[in-house]
Structure 1
Amino acid sequence: MTPAERAIPLKHPDCFYIDGQWVRSTTGDRFAVLDCSTEAVAAHVAKANAADAERAIAAARRAFDSGPWPQMQPHERAVYLKDIAQRLEALNDDFAHGWTIESGILNKLARPRIGQFLGGAFRQYADMAQTYAFVQPQRSASGHEAFSVKEPVGVVLAIVPWNGPAALTAYKVAPALLAGCTVVIKPSPEAPTSAYLFAQICEEVGLPPGVVNVVTADRDVSEAMVRHPGVDKITFTGSTVAGRNIGAAAAERVARVTLELGGKSPALVLDDYDIDTAARTIGASYFGYLTGQVCHSLTRIIVPRARHDAMVEALSETARSMVIGDPFDDGTTMGPLATARQRETVERYVARGVEDGATLAAGGQRPQHLKRGFFFEPTVFGNVDNRSTIAREEIFGPVLSVIAADNDDHAIALANDSIFGLNAVVFTGDTQRALAVARRLRAGSVGHNASRTDFSIGFGGFGQSGIGREGGVEGLEAFLESKTVVLDTPAG
């Protein structure tokens, strides 16, 4: 592809979307969006300062306090959600193109996932307008007529990360809009283009002014937005370190939060399951999908001690078979990391793994044949101590650690010995055994013989993997407050 073909086309890159209009920044400052495969600039977008952020929050505040959106019935708001879904699906390839450029996902994987997650999220929540009980008749303890009412939480600040920006925007914004909230979307400076495309759609469908606003900002402005008294709820996806800071800031003023944070997810390969099959399932999907830059990735591979070496070799063979290169090439099976900073982080962790005594069995460096782009080899460590740094901390890159267990109980204890609890998988041919082990794992999602996270049901984690759930009914309820109304009327 030529540089022109790789460029990300945006209608209003020098503006923010605020109060239903495209408005220029107060300073004219911009972020450069890099193509992570070539390191070339693919787009520029406006950079918000405190005044720009204030305008966006004020617009959302007006739209919630005096606009029509919160007063509409859920089925009326659902009409907009269905229109948004239709337009998202029409722009499927544009969203996928931007995701590949910014984050490094293989374009052949991005295209079907965009359609599944974006349109699917808005359609799912549009359907909930008919199935979710926003108002439920009750009988009070005093015998009076009463109602349990679910109402919008208010102005929502949606902070979206760079690894899966479009889908994560959808699963934050769709339920917030159905609930009747107004939203300020704060995308990552590294991956802002999906938010711009989404704002174009909001303009096209005629959302009332201020219902959705988009500003791209750096960390200092983002922190001010989190602390802003006009924001009622923060929904954040990102690192646990950043999540702790956001949670602490929100707690100072008792703002509502949903935090979807990091993970160090275990795959437990039990003694009855084929090692080669497990290795192909774990390795190919982990290395090939976003180069390991996924919070729920299976990064700790826990196997019976007698099978440790066989698993290390099988995973190493998978790693060596990966074709690293341009994510737009259908022959590529693994793309780059998203940023130079992320690659440097992975390199530091690999060096620490070697220093701590783990066996580097495959990968561990930049590929020699790729001189441009943020590429890194798929990497496998064996003989990893579950208490070591590479087994404890989220690396967010293509690095797998194989850990030996004495038996099932030991494997479960190793899996649970983590500050995180986002995802897990149990590999076994026995369904009942899988269910029994799954119930003992401290994780928000547990799959059988594959990672099976499902936003349509609900996604989130235990421990320091976050607070709350996204997707499903719980994802809607995260944007609702409960109100009890008791009338001076005897119950019928």
Structure 2
Amino acid sequence: MENVTSYLCGIWAFGKGNARRFNHPLSGEADYQLCSAGLPLVESLAYGRLHGGQALVAMTFLQRGQMLKALAKFLLANKERLYALSARTGASRRDGWVDIEGGIGTLFTYASLAGRELPEDTLWLEDDAIPLSKQGQFVARHLLSSRQGVALHINAFNFPCWGMLEKLAPCWLAGMPAIVKPASTSAPLAQGLVRLITDSGLVPEGALQLICGEVGDLLSHLDYQDVVTFTGSAQTGRQLRAHPGLLAKSIPFSMETDSLNCCILGDDVTPKMAEFSLFIDEVVREMTSKAGQKCTAVRRILVPETQLPAVQQALSEALAAVVVGDPALPGVSMGALASHAQREAVQQQVDRLLSSGCEALCGGSLAQLELSEGSNPAGAFYPPTLLLCRDPLHNEAVHGVEAFGPVATLMSYASREQAISLALMGQGSLVATLVTADPALAAQTVRAVACAHGRLLVLDTAAAAESTGHGSPLPQLVHGGPGRAGGGEELGGLRAVKHYMQRTAVQGSPLMLAAVGGQWLRGAPLHTDHRHPFRKHFEELQPGDGVLTARRTITEADIVNFANLSGDRFYAHTDETAAAQSLFGERVAHGYFVVAAAAGLFVDAGVGPVLANYGLEALRFTHPVKIGDTLQAQLTCLSKRRKAPKTDEPPCGVVAWDVQVFNQHQQHVALYRILTLVAQRVPSA
């Protein structure tokens, strides 16, 4: 029997005490054991803060993102080691793909987000300067800094790889080390993943630790700089959230729990429509994928009364075709549950639903299980189970009891309003799907049920060709939900990174805030020297470097020529009579001509480090420019960020420039930011 060890304070070790033993879900034979008693659990907190924390905090967001990318590549190259361990959980290769490569894909996504959107700094300026005074010398902005603590991730058994990596990616990107407590029933796979990560040498020592077994009194030793995340059952989550140690120190606690997610067939859909087949396929896939052991799985199937017989027949036939057994055998489409204890729990919940008045259309007990030839009957297999509730408006069990396996309950509704009511009776869900071809129905339903769901999928034939499906949380989208779903949030792009950081409002003069944030602010001094800023390489440029340009007077010929060149003959620029009746009272210059004229004032035309214009942001025209007005521009280096190198371009960085265009009365006429690619110095041979 294998000892599944923990990784704490830089050492792999097995505890000293009574170990918990676990059987193989496919054979029922003894497989492995866990014990964390006597291990340095409390000491791991200080170790993580001191070693992993200090190393991560010293890295910029860009460096952390590069670490995630390198790790993702390493794990992808070694994924077969994880697939071999995944098979021990009873999962099929397809189930393992979602867990393993889905988790690795999340690392890639967060690495990309860091490279595109986060600063080359350890501090994240969340917003632009907020003016607090008339003269502009008292301003504020919100900044995000790394917490000086450890994130304790308590994960569920169903996705030991994805569940770990989707938390580690934003956690590490925020500069925070982690201690992972995987579920015992899939601990060997979680341990295998941690071994790969530590063996890679790509992550600082102390940034990742692992507890296989019980956490003891670890929660009592957490501090206010620490964070706890939990994924699992609502009952366990509530107990953890109420821990006195967490409450006493106001320790952030994010909870994502299983929910009674629904899939709704729109009343516009008939069996002859393509959307009907989409609905059946989506429900069957969600019931059987990972043997129904997904927090996002469909548990409640809502269909119009008129379509109940057709849906019942189609689902029953599709589920009857599901082959249950050892995923290693040919033709098997659904594997075992994670453990025999899990199977017993599923049966108990199914029995509760049956005793509440539900009927079993297929499955419902082990007596209904048909195993593929060659599968071991001692395994933790359970049949796909479709229940029918004839009175869903008054049966509380179908909206409150979840069988965490291949089980869902079919129910009908008489009107759109009733469908909405049934969806809301789930008391908060991670995700719901509406299958419809009617945009009006989609609008009505989404507006009514969004308040109770973390994610909504509206599925029609157009979306189906590329849809990732009901049960696939994507790293770009929020994963979580209100009420029964736990009330927490994960993923959602960079939103998840902010969960592990401290938001602070900082007030002061533009000069002081520019120094704190490493970004120039309007109102702070302009640094000028004999060299035009476009003459400086990326390394030489500093925020605040800039130029105040010469002046240019706008003529009628400028406006006429720009209209002819661009084809923009809007009346306010070209029709003197109409312009006189406009809000300007006379003809004015094109806004885009003002931008072009400003570029003519501040651009240094010679060959130099500036390689290309990379974009324009936050453009505002704040005052009209009339014939005879004289313009002047100020170009200032706002911030800079090194760009991930590509083989087809020289080493360079993205520089953001603040542009202010004034008229002769020192009034702003245009404000915006431009981005340029600026070359780095190439070291001489």
Normalising by the residue count of structure 1, what TM-score does the alignment of the two structures yield?
0.89
**Counterpart among 398, 415, 418 of residue 410 in structure 1:** 418
The 1:398/1:488 distance shift into structure 2, 3 A limit, reads same
Say whether 1:264 aligns with 2:260.
yes
Contact preservation (8 Å) 1:365, 1:377? yes
Asked which structure has the greater CA Rg, the reply is: 2
1:146 positional shift: 4.5
Contact preservation (8 Å) 2:265, 2:279? no
Say whether 1:158 aligns with 2:153.
yes
Q: Distance in 1 between matches of 2:423 and 2:457?
A: 14
Helix, strand or coil at the partner of 2:490: coil
Say whether 1:229 aligns with 2:222.
yes
What does residue 56 of structure 1 align with? 44
What does residue 91 of structure 2 align with? 105
Deviations 1:192-211 (A, max 9, x none): 12332232223422432211
Helix, strand or coil at the partner of 2:173: helix
What does residue 183 of structure 1 align with? 178
For 2:92, give the aligned amino acid: L
1:23 positional shift: 3.3
Deviations 1:290-337 (A, max 9, x none): 111111111111111222232222211122111011122341111111
For 1:410, give the aligned amino acid: Q
Normalising by the residue count of structure 2, what TM-score does the alignment of the two structures yield?
0.65
Helix, strand or coil at the partner of 2:222: coil
For 1:444, give the aligned amino acid: G
Q: For residues 319-338 of structure 1, what are the structure 2 equivalents within 5 Å?
A: 319-338=319-338
What does residue 213 of structure 1 align with? 209
Helix, strand or coil at the partner of 2:242: helix
Say whether 1:240 aligns with 2:234.
yes
- Give aligned-pair identity as a percent: 23
Q: For residues 75-224 of structure 1, what are the structure 2 equivalents within 5 Å?
A: 75-102=62-89, 104-111=90-97, 114-115=100-101, 117-130=102-115, 131-132=117-118, 134-136=124-126, 138-139=129-130, 141-142=132-133, 143-144=137-138, 146-153=140-147, 154-200=149-195, 201-218=197-214, 221=215, 224=217
1:28 positional shift: 6.2
Q: Distance in 2 between matches of 1:88 and 1:436?
A: 44
**Counterpart among 491, 499, 503 of residue 482 in structure 1:** 503
Q: Distance in 2 between matches of 1:309 and 1:432?
A: 25
Contact preservation (8 Å) 1:279, 1:318? no
Contact preservation (8 Å) 1:56, 1:214? no
What does residue 26 of structure 2 align with? 37
**Counterpart among 8, 14, 18 of residue 18 in structure 1:** 8
Taking CA–CA contacts closer than 8 Å with sequence separation of 6 or more, which of the two structures ends up with the larger relative contact order?
1
Contact preservation (8 Å) 1:74, 1:129? yes
For 2:25, give the aligned amino acid: C
Which 5+ residue runs of structure 1 have no aligned equivalent?
1-6
The 1:34/1:86 distance shift into structure 2, 3 A limit, reads farther
Q: Distance in 2 between matches of 1:279 and 1:489?
A: 57
Q: Distance in 1 between matches of 2:173 and 2:285?
A: 33
Helix, strand or coil at the partner of 2:386: strand
1:255 positional shift: 0.5
Q: How many residues align?
A: 474
Contact preservation (8 Å) 1:325, 1:335? yes
Deviates more, 1:124-133 or 1:313-322: 124-133
Q: Distance in 2 between matches of 1:320 and 1:390?
A: 23
Q: Distance in 1 between matches of 2:191 and 2:353?
A: 40
Contact preservation (8 Å) 1:468, 1:478? no
Contact preservation (8 Å) 2:17, 2:38? no
The 1:199/1:359 distance shift into structure 2, 3 A limit, reads closer
1:183 positional shift: 0.6
Q: Distance in 2 between matches of 1:156 and 1:228?
A: 13
The 1:432/1:120 distance shift into structure 2, 3 A limit, reads farther
Q: Distance in 2 between matches of 1:310 and 1:52?
A: 59
For 1:463, give the aligned amino acid: G
**Counterpart among 462, 477, 480 of residue 482 in structure 2:** 462
For 1:57, give the aligned amino acid: L
Deviations 1:370-396 (A, max 9, x none): 521111111111134333324422211
What does residue 494 of structure 2 align with? 473
**Counterpart among 448, 452, 456 of residue 446 in structure 1:** 456
Q: Distance in 1 between matches of 2:270 and 2:343?
A: 33
